Structure 1
């Protein structure tokens, strides 16, 4: 009995039993019935998914830019406030030193007072401009975040429902009306909280008049 051997090639036979074959068939059926597979077979749903994913990416980029802008504004406000207090200390020191060497300084105490008030008003105006810009960017950031969350929920719903998802549905944020009404209700408190830095600087500036009078006439 002759045996034929093929050098370097070995034929292996893979035996597949009935249970394993049923498992493969069920896996293939599950993949075909998956919502993502239904979306890929529906041009309308696939196009909507791609558009929403692109819009979600744009939301992420805009949110990152606004967060960076807010960090920059915070640093600028801190620097202006630091310069404000340094100027007050330096100006008070110069005024005290000059008043000791000038006997008539009490008669012209209003001159350094005007210089101090004008300088303080300029710096407070800069802080106020930065604060207005900061809270404007903050409001835009909150709207971007809420819209992004609403869009993310719609994308998740589309992926879960597949072809049964309603193409006419649009991302809607239901919390915006509620948050705006609460903000209007507590508007005075919100305004004081937002512009607390300006209020503190104005109070410090108000001390310039008695300080200049006291230092010049002491």
Structure 2
């Protein structure tokens, strides 16, 4: 009788041993449903981030193509004008406004396209940064839930993480418009367009 009474407390201790957090989540319908929902949202966010990254890469490739096309187009036009300028200069000078106008319109078209794609790149960068922050927040919530199990306080933990995110946003402050590299590139292209315009008239008249 004494041996059985001595072994009972040890059996009770093993049965009363706390479960693993994942086992606690599996036994709790609320936490189990919450974990499934968060995992689904985490997978959705990762797909959206990868999609935005691919769109951002394609936009940057298009901007690079427009820069290259700008210089290739004007170089080709200048070479053609130079090769066809073997006639006397006076008749060509009377009609110099036609190629100058075409050069100006094509330059404005390239500048508008580059500016539009640059603005699209900025918008995609902001969206991608925000979605990456949301994915990090959700991943942190999932890890905390897996670590704490049923001890995870939904309102307390999520509100704390949201406050941390809002503090990061406030630390960045309002995005003041600065002299960005894309604005400098547009000014360089505008100067190059004016130079091409002057070269066009010079080649036709001299």
TM-score normalized with structure 2 length = 0.81
Q: Distance in 2 between matches of 1:97 and 1:29?
A: 94
Answering whether residue 98 of structure 2 is matched by residue 111 of structure 1, we say yes
Unmatched runs of 5 consecutive residues or more in structure 1: 1-21
Q: Which residue of 2 aligns with 1:81?
A: 67
Distance between the aligned counterparts of 2:107 and 2:71, measured in 1? 10
The one of the two structures with greater contact order (alpha-carbon pairs below 8 A, sep at least 6) is: 2
What residue number does 1:176 align with? 169
| Cα displacement string for residues 99-121 of structure 1 (whole angstroms, at most 9, x for unaligned residues) | 22232223333322111010111
| Correspondent of 2:23 among 22, 37, 42 | 37
Aligned pairs (5 A) from 1:15-164? 32-104=18-90, 105-164=92-151
- Contact kept? 2:89, 2:204, Cα under 8 Å: no
Which protein shows a greater Rg? 1
Q: Which has the higher helix share?
A: 2
Q: CA deviation at 1:29?
A: 7.0
Distance (whole Å) between structure 2 residues aligned to residue 78 and residue 216 of structure 1: 31
Deviations 1:17-52 (A, max 9, x none): xxxxx9xx96x876x521111111111111111111
Count of residues paired in the alignment: 188
Give the one of 173, 187, 198 matched to 1:210: 198
Give the stretch that moved more between structures: 192-201 or 142-151. 192-201
C-alpha distance in 2 between matches for 1:102 and 1:29: 105
Deviations 1:157-202 (A, max 9, x none): 11111111112243522322322x1632xx213xx22444323222
How many angstroms apart in 1 are the aligned matches of 2:196 and 2:98?
Answer: 12
Structure 1, residues 37-84: CA drift from partner, whole Å, max 9, x if none? 111111111111111111100010000111111111122222222111
Change in 2 beyond 3 A, CA 1:194/1:58: farther
